[in-house]
Structure 1
Amino acid sequence: MPPRWRRSWSSTSHVWNRARRSTVSLRVLASDAVAGTNDPCVDLWHVHVPHHLCALEAHWQRLDASERQRAASFHREADRQRYVISQGSIRRVLGQRLGVDSAHLTFERGEFGKPFLATHPALHFNTSHSGDWVVHGVSASTPLGVDVEAIAPGPIDLQDFRHVLTAHEFERLSALPATRLNPAFISTWVRKEAYVKATGHGLSKPLGDICIELLEGGHFGLIHDHHPQPPGTGWNWQMLDLGPDHVGCLAYPGRPLTVHLRGDSDRI
């Protein structure tokens, strides 16, 4: 699998803050949505990493041979830990959702590298992690994409990221004071990456070809995409509250759905 897909789908690295990425684990709540009713919804888990490092061994035990081999390839212990917890926690979430042993789940990849469950391809899920947070999204109702990014403390040079911005976005961001540029740029990024992950194309779809803006009424809309979706496909974006140092976003097509938030108390 090309490196760009490992970055896009599992978010184990990124262009501006590679060292600070991490993940954590969660327990699925026994709500109607999780228990398998027909109510269309999205379940989101976002939890704080440092509180869950003590569960590293439990996560390791859930990994298959290929995941353990990849974990062993990391040079930095912190990177290895983040990967193990990321894979172990999504296995736990999906295993509890389906009522199966999380260690027995088998993952496959689609045409552009997006993972899915071989035995339950209609159960959509996506994962992202950065800094102190992980986000897992799961839905039986719709494809979805999630992205979370830690805000780097120093200033960024917007010219370095011009290729991922439309001319309008570059002009809008360039007009901002330096104190607002980092969070505004990263917010723009996570909306785009969550969207391309939800479409199934990941970063094979150039981010500079996509424009997502805040519309009248306070919701985000797709202004243009050089690789358009089928006619009548609407999109939804929900920004995630992860504190002042992180930005996250959920994206999914179709009509707005109920989003069930799972927090730090929902541990494995």
Structure 2
Amino acid sequence: MTQPFGPPVGFPLGPPLDPDAVHLWYTLSDDIAAAAAIDAYIGLLSPDERARHDRFLNERARHEYLITRALCRTVLSRYAGMAPTGWRFRANAWGRPEIDAPADTGVADLRFNLSNTRGLVACAVTHSGEIGVDVEAIDRAGDLLEIADRFMAPLEAVDIASLPADAQASRFFTYWTLKEAYIKARGMGLSIPLDKFWFLRDGGDAGSSARLVLAPDMDDTAAGWSFAQLQPTDRHLLAVARRNPAAATPGFDLKVQRIVPPACRL
């Protein structure tokens, strides 16, 4: 169940993370422009992260990367007794970042996933089960019908094309965010073909429940997954996917919190 949006808060608040809960933190990256905040966030980065930050030639991409890494480090520190600068990460075989910590540290059971798009950065955290989040700017340009025909499952592409032109973008990103959240939760990225799984929905808009369907040759079980979708702003759509922990009932308790300046203190 998705909880109503609470008031924007800064980092002092640290809600407990129950076993069946997913906490979703997001911020509007364009709101974070003060030089002091930028310098403080740069100070959180590891040497490797700082080097990658400095290599970005596009100013917006560089800014989104900085906010993404700073949000990740500060959010994780809300759930463990570790300073934001103390976190270490490793990449799995497909490049997904994961916490690099011994099992006896008390933080190895945290699972997180990150997503950013033009103007918005999100971090999803849970204690159990694989987690994935995707956020997209739904006003971005592009031939969405061509992308759907090339990469989505036929049922999804046909559904999008059947709609009036002014409704196609919303339906496209409804499917796209769900699909991206799923492959990110699997930790395998685009090594999973996007046309090998699809979603059946009980409604057309974000917030409607979605049911995963897998092609017979997919190495997974659809019933083991739960999804949530929401629209945090009028130009952004977001989806969360979680593999249900063993013996857990389908679904999860999703709590959503926006972080805004000037409360984004470290």
TM-score by length of 2: 0.82
Residues 45-99 of structure 1, C-alpha deviations (whole Å, 9 max, x = no match):
1222222232211110010111111111111222211111111111111123212
1:238/1:71 CA distance change after superposition, 3 Å: same
Q: Distance in 1 between matches of 2:144 and 2:19?
A: 45
Structure 2 match to 1:62: 44
AA aligned to 1:29 is: L
Equivalent of 1:72, from 54, 65, 69? 54
State the SS of the aligned residue for 1:241. Answer: strand
AA of the residue aligned to 1:30 = G
* 1:222 and 2:202 correspond: no
| Number of residue pairs the alignment of both structures matches | 238
Query: 2: CA distance between counterparts of 1:61 and 1:73?
Result: 16
1:116 pairs with 82, 85, 98, which one?
98
2:238 to 244, 248, 252: 248
Unaligned runs of 5+ residues in structure 2 are 1-8, 102-106, 245-249
Residue in structure 2 matched with residue 20 of structure 1 by the alignment:
none
Contact 1:28 1:93 in 2 (8 A): no
Partners of 1:86 and 1:153 in 2: how far apart?
A: 20
Quick one: which amino acid aligns to residue 29 of structure 2?
A: V
CA contact (8 A) 1:60 1:85 kept: no
Mapping of 1:1-268 within 5 angstroms? 27=11, 29-33=13-17, 39-54=19-34, 55-119=37-101, 120-152=107-139, 154=141, 156-215=143-202, 218-225=208-215, 226-230=217-221, 233-254=223-244, 255-265=250-260, 267-268=264-265
What per-residue deviation string (whole Å, max 9, x for no partner) do you get for residues 134-193 of structure 1?
A: 111011122110000002355635124422211111111111111011111111110000
Query: Secondary structure of the residue that 1:179 maps to in structure 2?
Result: helix
Once the two structures are TM-superposed, the CA of residue 244 in structure 1 deviates from its matched residue by 2.2
The secondary structure found in structure 2 opposite 1:98 is: coil
Report runs of 4+ in structure 1 exceeding 4 Å deviation: none
Q: Residue 22 of structure 1 aligns with which residue? A: none
1:32 Cα deviation after fit = 2.5
- Partners of 1:144 and 1:26 in 2: how far apart? 24
Identify if the C-alpha distance between structure 1 residues 154 and 31 changes in structure 2 by more than 3 Å, giving closer, same or farther.
closer
- Give the structure 2 partner of residue 13 of structure 1: none
Identity of aligned residues (%): 26
RMSD: 2.1
Deviation of 1:132 (Å): 1.8
Counterpart in the other structure of 1:9: none
Decide whether the 8 Å contact of 1:137 with 1:145 is kept in 2: yes
Aligned to 2:5: none
Question: For residue 44 of structure 1, what is the amino acid of its counterpart?
Answer: L
TM-superposed deviation, 1:264 = 3.1
- Provide the TM-score with structure 1 as the length reference: 0.81
The letter of the residue matching 1:45 is W
> Is the Cα–Cα contact under 8 Å of residues 155 and 178 in structure 1 kept in the other structure?
no
Gaps of 5+ in 1: 1-24
Q: Which has the higher contact order (CA 8 A, sep 6+)?
A: 2
Q: Letter of the aligned partner of 1:242 in structure 2? A: P
